[in-house]
Amino acid sequence: MVFPGDKVDIDKINETYVISHLLNRTSILSRTKKDSTRLNDVGSVKNIASNVDLAVIVVAAKEPPLHPKFIDRYLMILQNSKIPAIICLNKCDLKTEEDEEVLNMYRDLGMNVIETSTYSNIGIGTLKEHLLNKQAIFVGNSGIGKSSLTNAIMGDDEIKTSHISDKSKRGRHTTTTSKYYVLEDNSSIIDTPGIRSLDISSFNPIEIQDYFKEFENWKDKCKYNDCLHFNEPYDSCIVKQGVSSGLLSVDRYESYLRIIGDVLCEKDYEKILEEVDPGLKKLVLIRKKLYFMRIKKTKERYKKEPKDYASKKYRKFTRYCSPTIGWKNKN
């Protein structure tokens, strides 16, 4: 089977091009079993793209509010597949101070973070520069503007985009299959459908902390070398002490606990949180409360303001280019 980004040899037989040979892949990005989308393919392993040089993890300001939990699973999967990643905050026209805090945390971790707005035409040139001579992929939840960004970069307005579902603010899965677009200068973009939750249950619990770079200088000082930094005695765990003292981010720690909950299959996040020391748990819950207050504020704003974006009509067709077939219009 071929996937977006595959490189192939083709033969021309009677005016028809056929794939004669699939070249070796340098990388393959897959979603594993339990990832859920609306598309009912839960339970299957699905390859998303091949030979990806750069993944752009697209997140959006405000809808819903930005939280590391939307980024960290992607970072784990990409790092595991050895695919370099950058973070792109789209809808920066809606950016709040809290969003800026989250972004700065990733900047401090050495990540490349850019900000874009397809509405205000901000950062599109910068994003385009990152894509130069790369086979790039846009990944992220539904409704955050991956297709809108692809439109903006391609300089046309033909890719189907949609408005956020009013009730859930979750987006509606407008893009249903990955599509490959060729830019000039040996560059290309693979626009992917939004994934609601990424399955990371195949990761080993003790490995999770390796994806939390800021834990690096702390974790070796924990008393137990298999410390998972949640239900071990507080005195023995330097990571937990780091979070309590404000030197490590509570939001990232919360994201870490969620991932640990997923990986230790029998436990969910709530159960994990029950086992965390009361003081630390309180700290996490306060942040969570603040997060939900921001969601409430966003919802109220949507009630008050006219939904100009809702009137946007669905585009009639999408145009895509397959590396093997060429340009095609699709109804």
Ligand X SMILES: Nc1nc2c(ncn2[C@@H]2O[C@H](COP(=O)(O)OP(=O)(O)OP(=O)(O)O)[C@@H](O)[C@H]2O)c(=O)[nH]1
* Full DSSP string of 236-283: G-HHHHHHHTTSS-HHHHHHHHHHHHHHSTT--HHHHHHTS-HHHHHH
Judged by CB under 6 A, which stretch of 104-112, 157-165, 283-291, 295-303 contacts ligand X? Answer: 157-165
Q: Which is nearer to ligand X, 87 or 164 (CB)?
A: 164
- The verdict on 119 binding ligand X (CB under 6 A) reads yes
- The verdict on 170 binding ligand X (CB under 6 A) reads no
- The verdict on 147 binding Mg ion (CB under 5 A) reads yes
Judged by CB under 6 A, which stretch of 124-132, 169-177, 258-266, 279-287 contacts ligand X? Answer: 169-177
Q: State which of residues 51, 116, 175, 178 lies at the interface with Mg ion (CB under 5 A).
A: 175
- The verdict on 178 binding ligand X (CB under 6 A) reads no
- The verdict on 171 binding ligand X (CB under 6 A) reads yes
CA angle 288, 249, 70 (to 5 degrees): 60
Angstrom distance (rounded) from CA 253 to CA 209: 10
The two three-digit tokens of residue 195, written as one number: 């994934």
Judged by CB under 5 A, which stretch of 52-60, 70-78, 230-238, 253-261 contacts Zn ion? Answer: 230-238
Closest Cα to residue 187, out of 135, 263, 116? 135
- The verdict on 147 binding ligand X (CB under 6 A) reads yes
CA 308 to chain centre: 26
- The verdict on 229 binding Zn ion (CB under 5 A) reads yes
Q: According to DSSP H, which parts of the chain are helical?
A: 72-80, 97-108, 124-131, 146-154, 205-208, 216-219, 238-244, 250-263, 269-274, 278-304
Q: Which is nearer to ligand X, 151 or 209 (CB)?
A: 151
x/- map, 40-59, Mg ion, by CB under 5 A: --------------------
Taking only Cα atoms into account, the Rg of the chain, rounded to an integer number of angstroms, comes to: 21
- The verdict on 148 binding ligand X (CB under 6 A) reads yes
- Is the sign of the CA dihedral 114, 118, 122, 127 positive or negative? positive
Closest Cα to residue 269, out of 283, 286, 281? 281
* Partner from Zn ion, Mg ion, ligand X, none binding residue 237, C-beta < 5-8 Å depending on class: Zn ion
- The verdict on 141 binding Mg ion (CB under 5 A) reads no
- The verdict on 318 binding ligand X (CB under 6 A) reads no
Q: State which of residues 55, 113, 149, 237 lies at the interface with Zn ion (CB under 5 A).
A: 237
Work out how close the CB of 100 gets to ligand X at its nearest, in angstroms, rounded to a whole number: 16
The two three-digit tokens of residue 107, written as one number: 């900047």
* Partner from ligand X, Mg ion, Zn ion, none binding residue 229, C-beta < 5-8 Å depending on class: Zn ion
Contacts of 167 (CB under 8 A, 6+ apart): none
Instruction: Give the binding site for Mg ion (CB under 5 A).
Output: 146-147, 174-175
Residues in contact with ligand X by the rule CB under 6 A: 90-91, 93-94, 117-119, 142-148, 161-164, 171-175, 193-194, 309, 312
